[in-house]
Amino acid sequence: MPSDSSGPSEGPGPARADSRLYPDHLVINVKYAMAGYEQIFQELGFALTPRSVHSLGSVNRLAVFADGYLELIGLPPDAATPRKDVLESYTGIDGLVFAMEDPDALQARLTGQGFTFQAVQRFSRPVQIDGVQQLAEFETVRLTPGQFREGRVYFCRHLTPQLVRRGEWMRHPNTAAALGGISIASSDPETTAERYAALGESVLPISVYAVPEAEERFGVPLPPDRFVAVSVRCDNPRIAAGFAQQCGRDYAWRNGALLVPLAELDAVLEFTA
């Protein structure tokens, strides 16, 4: 059975004035293959936001939900100086991002918990809204690499949330509606679960499996000490299955959930009702 460091089963949402960890988004790193993977995700029925370029040098497209989003992040092929943290991170699911409201309060709490972190980072990216270009702005507090072996763990504050959480970007043909959780394949699941629990009480379920359990659960070979599956809640997973079938992707049903392996990313998309 997996270890689960999730909190109460209430819907994820924006940061609130309590000690729990609310999700902001999950990141899938596609490096230099953005064109290929944006096509895959669109064929699987996600409505992606237009491609945008961060002031940090990365490119992204989002699958936005009412309470968070899934981010495809990559690197432009002609970048003179590629964004270092994206370049050096795992290809595949490499980012667990929590919401934050007050960077100073967050940093004080992290210090008290024994975590180390980088300086507050502020960046932006252009967004086209009704034909007018505007600037979406963000602040992040990133945990120092190495404290979580599975990938990048950090906190994000949206300074212009109205430019990201827009209703027209939340209507997905596959009926995807919300982030449902993230799963880890761990060589030491007990220690891994304790590490996430020490960070705080996550409202988004974080399921930690031993590697053999993860492979049994998701039905494919998986690497150790990695984020290996993203769960997405759907109004109708069978509609999502239809998209997988139409684009020729393997899929399976397990315990009422639709599993779509992305072997090239060492990852699985799980669609649940």
Task: Report the C-alpha gap between 242 and 142 in whole angstroms.
Answer: 38
pLDDT of residue 1: 56
Task: Clarify whether residues 84 and 193 are in a common domain.
Answer: no
End position of a domain, from candidates 114, 145, 169 = 169
CATH of residue 161: 3.10.180.10
Q: How many domains does the chain have?
A: 2
Answer whether 172's CB lies under 8 Å from 47's CB: yes
Task: Look up the domain containing 18 and give its range.
Answer: 13-169
The pTM of this model reads: 0.92
Tell me if 4 is assigned to some domain. Answer: no
Name the band, by pLDDT with cuts 50, 70 and 90, for residue 14. Answer: very low
Residue 218 · residue 209 · CB < 8 Å: no
Asked whether residue 17 is assigned to any structural domain, the reply reads yes
Residue % of the chain over a pLDDT of 70? 94
Q: What is the pLDDT of residues 108-156, one digit of tens each?
A: 999 999 999 999 999 999 999 999 999 999 999 999 999 999 999 999 9
Which residue, of 116, 137, 169, is where some domain finishes?
169
Do the beta carbons of residue 74 and residue 31 sit within 8 Å?
Answer: yes
In this predicted structure, the answer to whether residue 10 has a pLDDT above a threshold of 60 is no
**Domain shared by 154 and 227, yes or no:** no
**Mapping DSSP to helix (H, G, I), strand (E, B) and coil, where does residue 89 land?**
coil
Are residues 161 and 190 both part of a single domain? no
Domain boundary among the residues 169, 189, 211 is at 169
The answer as to whether 1 is a domain residue is no
The arithmetic mean of pLDDT across residues 148-167, rounded, is 97
Whether 31 has a pLDDT exceeding 60, the answer reads: yes
116 lies in some domain: yes
Cα 256 to Cα 63: distance, rounded to the nearest angstrom: 23
3-state secondary structure at position 206: strand
pLDDT band of residue 78 (cuts 50, 70, 90) is confident
pLDDT at 15: 38
Would you state the pLDDT for residue 135?
98
Residue 252 in any domain: the answer is yes
Same domain, 227 and 134: no
pLDDT tens per residue, range 171-208: 999 999 999 999 999 999 999 999 999 999 999 999 99
CA 149 to chain centre: 16
Residue 164 lies in a domain: yes
Mean pLDDT of 18-44: 95
Q: Are residues 101 and 139 in the same domain?
A: yes
pLDDT of residue 11: 31
Query: 8 lies in a domain?
Result: no
Does position 77 have pLDDT exceeding 60, yes or no? yes
Among candidate residues 53, 179, 153, the one with its CA nearest the CA of residue 100: 153
Sorted by sequence, the CB contacts under 8 Å of residue 2 that are 6+ apart come out as: 183, 189, 207, 208, 209, 213, 214, 217
Which range is least confidently modeled, 5-14, 43-52, 175-184, 219-228? Answer: 5-14
Judge if 188 and 139 occupy the same domain.
no
| Together in a domain, 150 and 226 | no
Residue 41 lies in a domain: yes
Please report the pLDDT score of residue 152 as a whole number.
97
Give dist(CA 253, CA 83) in Å, integer.
Answer: 38
Question: Does the pLDDT at position 5 exceed 70?
Answer: no
Q: What is the mean pLDDT of the chain?
A: 93
Q: Residue 68 pLDDT more than 90?
A: yes
Per the model's pLDDT, the better-predicted residue between 84 and 10 turns out to be 84
